[in-house]
Structures are given as structure tokens and as C-alpha cells.
Amino acid sequence: MTSTGWILAVVGAYLLLSLVVGWRAGRGTSASATGYVAGDRSMGALLMYFVTGATIFSAFAFLGAPGRAWSTGAGAFHILAFGTLGLVPFYWVGPAAARLGRERGYVTQAELVAGELAFRPLAPVMALVSLLAFVPYLALQMRGAGHVLEVLTEGRVGVEVGAAAVYGVVLVYVWRSGVMGVGWTNTLQGVFMMILAWSLGLYLPHALHGGVAPMFEAIDPEFLRLPGLKPDGSPWTWVGYGSTVLAMAVGFSFWPHLFQKAYAARSERVLRRTVVLYPTFQFFLLPILLIGFAAVGFDPPPAQADQVLPHMLLELELPAVVVGLFCAGALAASMSSGDAILHSAASILVRDGWIVGAGRTLSPEAERTAVRALLLPILVVAYLTATTFHADLVGLLAYAYGPVGQLAPPVVAALFWGRTTGPAALAGLVLGSAVTLGLPHLVALDVHPGVPGLAVNALVVVLGSLAFPRR
């Protein structure tokens, strides 16, 4: 068998294992929407740990982060910064949401906000904002999967074919098992990619430089000085660096697919324990960045920054089976977020757009059927985005955090400020999202557009609620 054949055989075996685990995970959950979307609220600490960690650290981490370290130096450290801060709000937000979910049957973020503020129009608007963030995020995962297979098969499997094959597997197990399929495959994928990340992160600096210390000694000190470079190679100012960290840290806990996992937790204690343990998952990023720094000065350089890892694996002429395992690890990183995003996007469209927003009624079984029916159309839209949008993977992620950060003010206000009104929350969300999406096209500012959008959003919610209180 050729080396490409061995690589594809290993990848195929891994995809088959993921499919089996995901397919079997749905056994024992009810046929209701609560079972399919929230796992009958039964996830324990192990599943919550890996769902939280593996759902967030995805293709952007395994592929985009090494590329960002190789191309921007210290600029890549913003990934550590926002990840360290991002889940802190969930220590309070998660248990509060879980408590209300059990009391009132909520299974989505927008459903909670619309219900607590007694203002139904909030649900479909929040669903739309969620989708504006979800599509590029899911496209990022698909692009990452396609990149890996294209590079490691030396172009024999293109980005389009690779992404379609990997996400065909994701579609099947998400359709079959819902959130429990996401949870158990995330556990498998999380363990797998953490082992491979540390193996690569220690091996590559040793193989190329003789160790981690000699590797950093060989790099120009200016390249390691904060705030580093932008992806285009120009210097990153502290305003740009800091605003990007802020925007992404705020949005972190309010990703709808992560927020929904609060409803799946067995108890509030499990949620708080997950937040406390979560920083240990951040150690996964350290070897990932070491991979990128090990590639500085590597000859020949990769064609694209996102291809640094698979490019080096091929050039070092490692055994095909070993390359296949590392390829499978990168696919695990992609799938561990892609499945959660796909499942959440379909759930949100049905629950927030149709049931809450339009005021329609569906039986639990019909709701589950409707969620399943939307999985393929959502995947097709993300696939088309993945094959036509050409930003780097971390750039795609940074863009997605702009819209998702706008969900923070209405969620926090609905949970913790009793004077919040529905119209004020809706106005803040719309105006904040408009600023975030429109500002880059109107003004050239060295600031992440999510930050001014967030400021406008929060100000409108507070002032609007005070000026026009509930009657």
C-alpha cells in the first residue's frame, strides 16, 4: 500500500470509530426534544469537561494556532489570553441558566432570554445573530478538515472532498444521537487530540532544534515580543491586540452551542466543577503553539499558514501510519466543535425561530424530527462558505466572535438584572450587531469591531430599561 493509502486507512479507521461511538451514544435517552437537545439533563463531570474543552478548541487550535505562531510570533499569544479568561463568567451564568432550564423547560439560550423578559420577538433575532456567528465557525471546522486531507495526501484528496467526507460522518452521528452523540465523541476526540498535541509539541522542537530552549534561542527576540504581528505581517498595536482579546473573551461563554450544555448538566455543582477544571484543558494549547514556533525558519515553508503542521509532517518523512494518526488528531479537533455547532444551530432554528418566535406548537417527537431535518441544509450553507471564503482559520474565528459577543448583554441582563425590559434588550442586540458587522466597512479602526458593538449594546440595554421600565 502507498503512503497515501496508509494515511487514508488510518483516517478511515478513526472516522469509523467516531461514527460508532456517536451512533451508540444516543441509546437510553428519550425520544423527546429534551432528550435530543439536552440529553435529558444527565451529563456528568467527565462529559461536561470534554464537551466544554473540545467544543471550543477545534480546527482553529490544531491548525490555525500553529500557523498563527509561525506567521505572527507573539501575536498568537492572544489565543491563550482570551481562552484563559473566557469561561470565567460561566461559573455564574451556567448554573443560573441550568436552574431556570429545569424549572421552566428551557433548552436554548434565546428561549431563556425571551421567556425571562416576556418578549417573544427576542428569540428569532437572537437565533439570527447566533447563525451569523455559527456559519463561519462551522465553515472554519470544515476548511480545517479539508486542509489536513489535502496536504497529507499531496493533493489527491482536495479540500472540498475531504471536508464533505469528514462532515458526512458528523452528520450521521449528530442526526442519530443529538447532544449525547456530541458529548461522547467529544470525549473521544478530546483525549485523542490532547495526546497527539503533546506528542507533536515535544517531538518537533526536539527533531528540528534539539529541544524547546534551543528553538526559542534561534528565533529573533523581536518576533517573540508582544503584541506581535497581524496575519498580513504588519505590526499589531496594543489597541488591536487588547480589543481582540476582550471581544473573544466576552463572547467565549455565550457561544450558544456552549451555553446549551448548561441545560445538559446533571447539576449546578457539575457545572461549577467544570469551570474550575477547565483551565487544565488550556494546557492543550501550549504544545500547539510550540509546533508553530518549531516551524519558524523551516525550509521549504508551507504555502499557507494553516498548513504548517501537515506540511512539516510530510517534509520530515515520518512513517505513513504515524502521519495518519496525527492527521486523525487534527480531524478530531475539527469534528469536536463542528458537531456541537451543527446540532445547536438546528436546535436554535426550530426552538427559537419556529416554536418561540412564531408561536407554533410541535410535539416533542415532531420537534426532534424538525431539528434533524435542518442538519443537512445548515451543513450545506457552511460547506459553501468554507469553499469560497479565504481568510485564515484564526481570522474566521475572530470574525465569528464579533456577532456572538452581542449575545452577552441580553443574557446577563435577563439572568441578573430584574429591571431589564424586552424591547431594550432587543434594541441593544440589533444596534450592537449592526455596529459590529458594519463598522469595518465604514471606518478603518485598529480595534476589533465587537468591542464598540458590545459597548453600544450594553448602553442601550441599560438606558432603555431605565427610561422605559416594565409596567
Q: What three-state secondary structure class fits 117?
A: coil
Poorest-pLDDT segment among 34-48, 128-142, 194-208, 437-451 = 437-451
Q: Is 178 left (phi over 0), alpha (psi -120 to 50) or beta?
A: left
Locate cell 439536552: which residue? Answer: 38
Q: Distance between CA atoms of 454 and 250, rounded to whole angstroms?
A: 9
pTM of the complete model: 0.86
Question: Do the domain assignments include residue 440?
Answer: no
Q: Are 81 and 249 in contact (CB under 8 A)?
A: yes
State mean pLDDT over 242-252: 90
Poorest-pLDDT segment among 81-85, 236-240, 437-441 = 437-441
Instruction: Give the dihedral sign, CA 456/457/460/462.
Output: negative
Which one-letter amino acid corresponds to residue 419?
Answer: R
Residue 441: is its pLDDT beyond 70? no
- Greatest Cα pair distance, the chain, in angstroms, is 74
- In which domain, by residue range, is 228 found? 3-394
Q: What three-state secondary structure class fits 40?
A: helix
Question: Do the domain assignments include residue 403?
Answer: no
Which carries the bigger pLDDT value, residue 444 or residue 123?
123
pLDDT at residue 397, rounded to an integer: 66
Locate cell 515535544: which residue? Answer: 202
Question: Do the domain assignments include residue 420?
Answer: no
Question: Do the domain assignments include residue 408?
Answer: no
Question: Do the domain assignments include residue 316?
Answer: yes
Q: What is the mean pLDDT of the chain?
A: 88
Percent of the chain with pLDDT strictly greater than 90: 42
Question: Do the domain assignments include residue 75?
Answer: yes
Burial class, 215, CB count within 10 angstroms (exposed 0-12 / middle 13-18 / buried 19+): buried
pLDDT at residue 442, rounded to an integer: 60
State mean pLDDT over 120-142: 87
Question: Do the domain assignments include residue 350?
Answer: yes
Residue 390: is its pLDDT beyond 70? no
For residue 310, cis peptide bond before it (omega within 30 degrees of 0): no
Can you list the pairs that 23-26 forms with residues at least 24 positions away whose Cβ atoms lie under 8 Å?
A: 23/172, 23/173, 23/176, 23/177, 23/181, 24/177, 24/184, 25/173, 25/177, 25/180, 25/181, 25/183, 25/184, 25/185, 26/176, 26/177, 26/178, 26/180, 26/181
Question: Do the domain assignments include residue 468?
Answer: no
Locate cell 455596529: which residue? Answer: 435
pLDDT at residue 147, rounded to an integer: 81
Number of domains in the chain: 1
Residue 7: is its pLDDT beyond 90? no
CATH number at 49 reads 1.20.1730.10
